[in-house]
């Protein structure tokens, strides 16, 4: 979970843990972890480093006083193991941290945002909608006025993904929509590609995630599609065409041009099939059309 707090590089952060429920403690430990830094992917195997390879740090907390830090700094997160400790509760007190811009849809308003939240000093900001939490540099949100519309846009985009997947909060397993939000993070250097799926979804800094046009974008649709396409969508040896079904669905919803039509993929597929190419020989866009 996000705390809305930032640990400055090298600064000691004190976290005092006390029990909150009989479900909390196992073998005398609260079974709760702290993480400083949102992006945990390690890029040590990349040929070129534009940043240190591992910038997030995590550790399990003990009952009582814990002192933690990260030489690179980062937003502070608290997490547990919901599968095993869904009813667990724990009381925490965090000191030594800096407040960061943290907007929660339904709790905060545009007026709150403009008056104080966006001016919090932490260099990383978070916008939390019902279905998505977005993390981006604070410099990108300092002059943003209508943060509610950005949060609502994320919820619409995620609801579209649920709809195409056949997921709903009203449905039982295996059609139940997630009851926790996904995450998407802007990062200087990703562990792979210009964007990637996972938790969190990672996007490069070139994605302007502080404006609607930067969110309603093909690669964003594609990576979220990877996270949500059902196994029934798989066809032979590729997952990219299945993820791009979500791209087409989102583009249709938001009234955007489809690259399938724009790049005349239908004619390309017809030519490839006439040339005797097999499914495996087709490109990802051609497989999508096929």
Crossing angle of the two packed helices 147-165 and 218-228, in degrees rounded to 10: 50
Separation CA 100–CA 92 (nearest Å): 18
pLDDT in tens, the chain (290 residues): 999 999 999 999 999 988 655 545 556 666 789 999 998 888 888 888 989 899 999 998 888 899 999 999 999 999 876 555 556 677 889 999 999 999 999 999 999 999 999 999 999 999 999 999 999 999 999 999 999 999 999 999 999 999 999 999 888 888 888 888 999 999 988 887 788 888 999 998 888 888 888 888 888 998 999 898 776 666 655 678 788 889 989 999 999 888 777 777 778 778 887 888 877 777 776 777 66
Helices vs. strands in the chain: H and E counts, helices first: 9, 14
Sole residue written with tokens 């209508």? 146
Say what the pLDDT of residue 29 is.
Answer: 67
Dump pLDDT digits (tens) for 174-228. 888 888 899 999 998 888 778 888 899 999 888 888 888 888 888 899 899 989 8
Neighbours of 285 (CB within 10 A): 17
d(C-alpha 248, C-alpha 222), whole Å:
9
Residue in 92, 85, 87 with CA at minimum distance from that of residue 61? 92
Query: What was the pLDDT predicted at 219?
Result: 87
Between CA 256 and CA 96 the distance in angstroms is 46
Q: Rounded CA gap, 288 and 290, in Å?
A: 5
DSSP character for 105? B
Residues facing residue 5 across a β-bridge: 99
Record the pTM.
Answer: 0.88
d(CA 85, CA 77): 17
């Amino acid at each position: 979970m996000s705390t809305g707090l930032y640990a400055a590089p090298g600064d000691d952060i004190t976290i005092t843990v006390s029990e909150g429920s009989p479900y909390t403690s196992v073998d005398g430990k609260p079974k709760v972890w702290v993480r400083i830094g949102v992006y945990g992917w390690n890029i040590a195997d990349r040929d070129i480093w534009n940043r240190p390879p591992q910038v997030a740090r995590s550790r399990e907390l003990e009952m009582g006083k814990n002192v933690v830090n990260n030489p690179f700094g980062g937003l502070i997160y608290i997490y547990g193991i919901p599968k095993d400790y869904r009813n667990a509760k724990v009381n925490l007190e965090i000191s030594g941290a800096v407040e960061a811009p943290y907007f929660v849809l339904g709790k905060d308003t545009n007026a709150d945002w403009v008056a104080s939240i966006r001016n919090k000093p932490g260099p990383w900001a978070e916008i939390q909608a019902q279905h998505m939490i977005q993390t981006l540099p604070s410099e990108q949100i300092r002059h943003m006025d209508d943060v509610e519309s950005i949060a609502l846009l994320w919820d619409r985009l995620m609801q579209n993904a649920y709809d195409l997947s056949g997921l709903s909060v009203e449905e039982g397993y295996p059609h139940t929509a997630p009851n926790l939000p996904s995450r998407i993070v802007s990062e200087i250097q990703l562990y792979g590609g210009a964007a990637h799926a996972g938790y969190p979804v990672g996007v490069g800094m070139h994605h302007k995630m502080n404006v609607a046009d930067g969110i309603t974008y093909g690669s964003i649709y594609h990576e979220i599609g990877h996270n949500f396409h059902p196994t029934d969508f798989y066809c032979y040896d590729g997952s990219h065409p299945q993820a791009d079904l979500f791209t087409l669905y989102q583009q249709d919803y938001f009234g955007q041009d489809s690259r399938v039509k724009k790049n005349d993929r239908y004619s390309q597929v017809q030519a490839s099939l006439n040339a005797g190419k097999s499914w495996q020989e087709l490109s990802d866009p051609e497989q999508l059309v096929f």
